[in-house]
Chain A
C-alpha cells in the first residue's frame, strides 16, 4: 500500500472515531442547570490521537515479518538463545534462585504476599499449560479444579482437622479425580465444544458451592483456615508468610521440573502429536481418549494443589474467589506467555499478576488493557512472549545446504 493510501485510511479511521466518541466525549449535559456543554477540544484530541495510532498500527503491520519467513528472525530472539546456552543458563539459574531465596528478607511482607499470589498463578498457569499448550485441549473451566483443591483443604480441615501437608497431596488427587470424571465424557468433543462444556462445568462447581449451604457454607464461605505449620511450631505472622513463600517456591520448582520432564517424555510427545493429527496417532497405537484424559487429569491436579495453597494463604475462601474470570486470567497467562513454553508461561503469569498490582492507578482500565494487550499479542507475536522452542525449526546449516527442498508445513 502506498503512503498516500495509508494516510487516507488513517484519516477515515480518525473521522470514524470522532463520530463514535462524539456522544460521550463531546456532549456533556448538565442536568442541574439544563445546559449542554460542548467539549470540542476532546474531539480534536480523539481525532489526532486515533490518526497517529492508526498510522502506527499500519506501520507495524507492514513491518511484521511475513508468515513462514519469520523463522530466522525469531531464532535470534535473545531469550531463546540464552536458555539454550549452557554457559549462560546455569549462572542465570543460580542468580535467580539466590534472588528468590532472599526475596522475603529483601522485600516487605506486602511484597512477599503479592509474590505468593503471583506464584500460585504461575503454578496454575504451568498446570493449564499441560492441558492447553501440550495437549491442545481448550479448557475454560480450569478454575473449578482450583476450587476443588481449596475447598477440600478447607472442609477436611474444618471437619477432621486435617493439616496442610496432608491436604496438599489430597487436594491434588481429589482435583485429579474430578478432572478424570469430567474429562471422560467430555474429551470426545473437540475445540470449541470442549471449551463450552468445560466453561459450563466451571460455573456448575461455583454455583453448587454457592448454593449447597450444608456442604460448603454457601456464599459466606469458610474462614479460619489454618496456615501451614512448621514442625508443629506456631510461627509469627511474618514467619508463616515467609514459610508459605518458600512452600510455593518449592511447588513452582517442582511443577517446572515435572512439566519439563513430561514435555520431553513419550507421553508429552504423544500429546503434541495428538494435537496435530489424531488419525496418525491412532495408527501408531496411541489411545486417543486415554492420552487426553491423562493431560486433563494432570493439569487438574496442579490446580488442586494450587487451590490448597491458596486456601492456606488467604485463610478464608468463598465461591466468589472462583469465578470464570480466574479461568480467563490463567488462560491469558498461558496464551500471553507462549503456549507450551515453560519460561514463557512463568513470565506471562508474573507479568499478568504483578503488573496490575503495581499499577494500581490504572486498575479501572485493567480489563481494557488486558484485552488490548491480547489483541496486540495475537497480531504481532501469535506464539506468545516466548515462542515454544519446539515450534521453531532449527536447521543444521550443513544439513540445510544438502537438503534438496525444505518444506515448511505449518
Chain B
C-alpha cells in the first residue's frame, strides 16, 4: 500500500533521513521504534508531504506522492495524528472533529462517523462543546485520533500516541487503535517510544537509528530480539 524507496529528507542543510526504505501492506499495523531524534517524526512528515523528501520515491497504492501538496495527500487517504497531539485549543471538540472532515462534503456520512467516534471515545461526547484546550492530556490524544479518522483515511499515521499519558490511558488508546484497524480495515503506521507496547500490537516493526532503518522483523521477533531488548525495552 505504501512504499518508501531511498528517501532522503533534509531540514535546510542537515540531512535527517538517510536512504529510508520501508513498506506498509494493506490492513496491517506496523510500528517504527527508535531513540529520540532518530527521525521517526520526520518520516511521517515526509509521507504527509509537510516536509517533502529531497530524493527518493514514495508510492501510495502504486502512485508516486512525493511531490504532492499535503492537502492532496490527505485527500488520497493518508491522515496523520502529529506528535504532541496538536489539537486546536480554541475550537470546541465538535469543531475540532469538523476540521478533520475539511475535505469531505457528505453531511450524512460525516454525522455517522461522528457517532462512531463518540462510540469509540464516549468521554468526547460528554465534552463535545468544550474548547479543545480545556481537555486533559488523554482526552486531547483521543480527540487527535478521532479528528484524524474523521477524514476516513486508508492509512493512519500515529506519532507517539502514548506521549505523556498515564499507563492505563495508554493501554486504552492502544486497544482502540487495534479496534480501528480491525473494524475499518484501516492500515496503521505507529511511531512509538513505548517499544514494548507498540511491538505487542504491531504485525511488523522497524527499528530506526539516526536517520537509518537498522532492523525489521515481525513484532514478536523484534520483541524477543536481544539487541532490541537491551536498547529499547530496558530489559
Contact = CB atoms under 8 A, between A and B. Distances in A.
Interface of A: 266, 269-270, 272-273, 276-277, 279-288, 390-391, 393-396, 399, 402-410
12 contacts: A269-B91, A272-B91, A276-B89, A277-B86, A277-B88, A283-B82, A285-B103, A393-B134, A402-B126, A403-B134, A407-B137, A409-B89
Residue with the highest number of chain B CB atoms closer than 10 Å, among A269, A285, A395, A409:
A285
Contacts of A390: 90
Contacts of B133: 393, 407-410
Given A285-B151, A391-B90, A279 B50 contact: yes
A394 B147 CA distance: 22
Contacts of B88: 272-273, 276-277, 280
Contacts of A402: 126
Interface in B41-98: 45, 48-50, 69-71, 73-75, 79-82, 86-91, 95, 98
Interface of B: 45, 48-50, 69-71, 73-75, 79-82, 86-91, 95, 98-100, 102-103, 126-127, 129-131, 133-137, 147-148, 151
Closest 3 A-B residue pairs measured CB to CB? A285-B74, A280-B86, A409-B133
A33 to B, nearest CB: 67
B86 A279 contact: yes
A286 B99 contact: yes
Nearest to A391: B90
Contacts of B148: 283-284
B126 A399 contact: yes
B148 to A, nearest CB: 7
Nearest to B95: A269
Residue with the highest number of chain B CB atoms closer than 10 Å, among A279, A391, A410:
A279
Contacts of A393: 130-131, 133-134
Nearest to A289: B69
Given A404-B136, A406-B134, A407-B137, A269 B126 contact: no
Nearest to A402: B126
Nearest to A290: B71
A288 B70 CA distance: 9
A263 to B, nearest CB: 12
B130 A284 contact: no
A229 to B, nearest CB: 43
A270 B136 contact: no
B194 to A, nearest CB: 22
Contact of B90 (A276, A281, A395): A276
Contacts, number: 102
B134 A407 contact: yes
A402 B134 CA distance: 13
Given A270-B102, A282-B71, A407-B137, 9 more contacts: A270-B99, A273-B91, A280-B88, A284-B148, A395-B130, A395-B134, A396-B130, A399-B127, A407-B136
B195 to A, nearest CB: 24
B166 to A, nearest CB: 10
A399 B74 contact: no
Given A285-B75, A391-B90, A408 B134 contact: yes
Contacts of B127: 399, 403
Contacts of B50: 279, 282-283
Contact of B79 (A279, A283, A287, A394): A283
Contacts of A288: 70
A287 to B, nearest CB: 4
B71 A287 contact: yes
Contacts of A281: 99
Contacts of B70: 282-283, 285, 287-288
Residue with the highest number of chain A CB atoms closer than 10 Å, among B48, B71, B73, B91:
B71
Residue with the highest number of chain A CB atoms closer than 10 Å, among B50, B99, B136:
B99
B186 to A, nearest CB: 16
B135 A266 contact: no
Contact of A280 (B73, B75, B87, B136): B87
A286 B91 CA distance: 15
Residue with the highest number of chain A CB atoms closer than 10 Å, among B80, B88, B148:
B88
Nearest to B74: A285
Contacts of B90: 272, 276, 390-391
B87 A284 contact: no
Nearest to A269: B95
A89 to B, nearest CB: 20
A273 B130 contact: no
Contacts of B75: 285
B71 to A, nearest CB: 4
